[in-house]
Amino acid sequence: MIYIHSAAQIATLRGASAKPKAGKEMEELGLIEDGGIVIEDGIFTFVGSSEEARRYVAEHSGNQEVTVLSAEGRTVTPGLIDPHTHIVFSGSREFELNLRLQGAKYMDILNAGGGILYTTERTREAAEEQLMAETVKRLDRFLEYGVTTVEAKSGYGLRLEDELKQLRVVRRLNASHPVDLVPTFMGAHAVPVEYKGNADAFVRTVIEDMIPAVAREELAEFCDVFCEEGAFTVNQSRDILAAGQKWGLKPKIHADELVSYGGAELAAELGAVSADHLLHVSEAGIQRMAEAGVIAVLLPGTAFFLMAQPANARAMIAAGVPVALSTDRNPGSSPTESLPFIMNLACLTMRMTPAEVLAACTINAAHAIGRAATIGSIEVGKQADLVLFDAPNYLYLQYHYAVNLVDTVFKKGEVVIQNGRRVSA
């Protein structure tokens, strides 16, 4: 039994496991001052005031050993959740930065065979063990920043064996690394060089060869598409996501990132779990998402790194679209594992309040990856994923910005980060 007491503040995020928070609900964090938490067998068994938790321990501990931890001066939140990453890849793309500073556009670099296609070459060349080693480093960093669950997309293989290779890496890491991974198939991330000028034929192989193989091996839960001018059209995206649905893969979509393209509308039409990016979403798209209950996964780090205007989070929240946030960790448009810095950007560049930001990276992010029944809030019965921040209250997380305030991380009731450092297994 673990008894945590004297937390300056616990942001429980309770009461939203059935439906993501939308509108004003995103402001409600279920705060407890001078809070106490009890964990048994990796699950929260009591959440309340320190005094109530002390009484619970006295009544229920019996002969069990009780580990006592003071969280004095600390703010406690659910383990942070990143619902949109491309972490399985080889190499890096720092050389693109100078090109972009000289005015090259993200899509120009891709069309010239760089960007996603460069990373695809490196990823195809890499053996599975190499990919494992590179990805572990990224997951270790995520954990240091308080991130205990990440969604992970394929999409740098762009041919069957290499898409499967990426997803097998996700599966192996999910079994071996403390961070939980949720797999998404994204074979339609770009048209590979061997299909240049023949996107429809590539779409056919995604639908006829890749999706069935991924589903048969049970390697993914979601299917995603880069629906964008110069990537995949709305019709191609619809065909791919509908084929995924037939095989049990729930749709997600990279939508309206670079131009307004109808991706949000398609997400609503298909009942997608989320539409992500949305920098150029139309007003009609926002309305349709709100009606269909599609979660907006916003990626302000990508806007920051591509030097673009971020998404209009305020309009989406006002319309009742549930908002989640993510790093979009990838080698081209957002090479960072610091979800806390993304939270700072959400607050300071998209004017999301500190409370909305926290809801977006916990319970709403859990909904965006279909995990809200088990994670995303500090509630009795849920998996004990927790972060203790060196912060007197949750507001401070967006105030003392761009530094790592993570002190302690619990994953499934085990301390994995202590004093900001990894505890060796």
Binding-site annotation, residues for N-formimidoyl-L-glutamate: 156, 330, 332
**How many chain residues are in contact with ligand NIG, going by CB under 6 A?**
13
Selected range binding ligand NIG among 127-135, 325-333, 352-360, 382-390, rule: CB under 6 A: 325-333
Residue 257 binds to ligand NIG (criterion: CB under 6 A): yes
In the complex, least distance from residue 63 CB atom to ligand NIG, rounded to whole angstroms? 52
HSE toward the beta carbon, residue 32, CA cutoff 13 A: 25
Selected range binding ligand NIG among 28-36, 113-121, 142-150, 260-268, rule: CB under 6 A: 113-121
Q: Of 75 and 120, which CB lies nearer to ligand NIG in the complex structure?
A: 120
Q: Of 84 and 367, which CB lies nearer to Zn ion in the complex structure?
A: 84
Q: Of 316 and 378, which CB lies nearer to Zn ion in the complex structure?
A: 316
Selected range binding ligand NIG among 16-24, 114-122, 373-381, 409-417, rule: CB under 6 A: 114-122
Which residues, 207 to 246, sit near ligand NIG by CB under 6 A? 226
In the complex, least distance from residue 257 CB atom to ligand NIG, rounded to whole angstroms? 6
Write b or e for each residue in 366-376: b if 16 or more Cβ atoms lie within 10 A of its Cβ, otherwise e: bbbbebbebbb
2, 44, 61, 42: which is closest to 381 by C-alpha? Answer: 44
Residue nearest to ligand NIG (CB): 332
Q: Where are the beta strands (DSSP E) in 41-117?
A: 43-49, 67-70, 75-78, 80-82
| Member of 123, 326, 327, 333 binding ligand NIG (CB under 6 A) | 333
First to last CA, the chain: 19
381, 301, 412, 291: which is closest to 348 by C-alpha? Answer: 301
Write b or e for each residue in 160-197: b if 16 or more Cβ atoms lie within 10 A of its Cβ, otherwise e: eebbbbbbbbbbbbbeebbbbbbbbbbbbbbbbeebee
State the binding partner of 264 from Zn ion, ligand NIG, none, CB within 5 to 8 A by kind: none
27, 288, 5, 33: which is closest to 278 by C-alpha? Answer: 288
Which residues sit at the interface with ligand NIG, rule CB under 6 A?
Answer: 86, 115-116, 119, 226, 254, 257, 302, 328, 330-333
